[in-house]
Amino acid sequence: MRPNGGSKWPGGASFQPVRARDTVELAAKAGEWKCPVVVTDALYGAAPESVLALIAECDDALERVLVAGHEPTWSELVANLTDGTPPVFPTAAMACLHFRTPEWQDATSGLAQLSWLVTPKLLARVGLD
């Protein structure tokens, strides 16, 4: 992404500071993902609206976008997108949202469905830690 935000994101994942970046790198390696990764500090401490603005710049050819970061942004974002109650997001939790729109620029409040939320404790219980 250009610093002025004028271009579409070229890749399928974005992240911010060290722990979130490490999480994405580990996930990409484990999942054998072959997508570009965009690094930005714009998500650190960002309001849900700011995260949505970055997501809106994603290329519509991308079927999936992974955004990694820290609390309290992520629980607030999930609540905002699903018109629901903020979920509890312990460290290293993951959530999957499905949007009811084909274009990333239209991914706005209330247009997503929370498909799943996985915590490290749940992964440990099923032997995937």
Question: pTM of the entire structure?
Answer: 0.74
* DSSP single-letter state for residue 60: T
Q: What is the tens place of the pLDDT at every residue in 2-40?
A: 233 334 444 544 445 677 778 778 778 888 888 877 778
Residue 8 lies in a domain: no
Q: What is the tens place of the pLDDT at every residue in 81-90?
A: 999 889 988 8
Looking at the 3D structure of the chain, how many domains does it have?
1
Query: Do 48 and 75 touch, CB atoms closer than 8 A?
Result: no
Residue 4 lies in a domain: no
Angle at 17 between CA 24 and CA 103, to 5 degrees: 60
- What's 54's domain CATH number? 3.40.50.1240
